[in-house]
Amino acid sequence: MYDDSGLAEGDRPHWAAALTGAGDMGFMLYRSVARPGLGRADLEAILNQARRRNAERGLTGCLHHENGLFFQWLEGPRFTLSRLMERLRDDDRHVGVTVIDQGRLDRRLFGDWQMRHSDSATASLLEWLAGSGHSEADGVRSFLETIR
């Protein structure tokens, strides 16, 4: 099929990606405020639900929880990500969902995780951000690269 296309080698990924969906891979990074009183059991329930649903939807990522804040990195098909963001905004287990960064992604950071969980016992993201001269988006991303 490729040989009949008349396309140069470098042009092929455009429609090959359209067929496989590979070109639609993206990430979404947001911050939110956990509902006051949200406890360990609630967090377990969120992670169990996230892992089950992400496995079905081809999403992977990392949820960092520290000082009543959530930072979540989600990666996978961009359409699926934006659908999930709508659900996340309606979820009353957190408020103030603020997208910090989003875009295309060539390679997943958390391909081995349906949803990695980290907190200040893993490493402090807030201290990392305070000590880095980066923007919030670059700071969170570089932090996640150290814990993945």
Applying CB under 6 A, does 78 fall inside the site for ligand FMN?
no
Q: Cα angle vertex 147, ends 141, 148, to 5°?
A: 85
Q: Is 91 in the site for ligand FMN (CB under 6 A)?
A: yes
Element (H, E) at 78: helix 78-89
Nearest in space to 94 (alpha carbons), one of 75, 60, 117, 68: 68
Does position 50 interact with ligand FMN (CB under 6 A)? The reply is yes
Is residue 38 within 8 Å of 93, Cβ to Cβ? yes
- Among residues 28, 88, 109, 125, which is the contact residue for ligand FMN, using CB under 6 A? 88
What whole-number distance in Å separates Cα of residue 109 and Cα of residue 125? Answer: 17
State the nearest-atom distance from the C-beta of 142 to ligand FMN, in Å: 21
Sheet bearing 60-66, strands edge to edge: 94-104, 25-34, 69-77, 60-66, 116-119
Decide if residue 46 touches ligand FMN (CB under 6 A): yes
> Is 31 an interacting residue with respect to ligand FMN (CB under 6 A)?
no
Residue 53 in the binding site for ligand FMN (CB under 6 A): yes
Which residues ranging from 105 to 124 are in contact with ligand FMN (CB under 6 A)?
115
Binding site for ligand FMN (CB under 6 A): 46, 49-50, 53-54, 61, 63, 70, 72, 74, 84, 87-88, 91, 93-94, 115
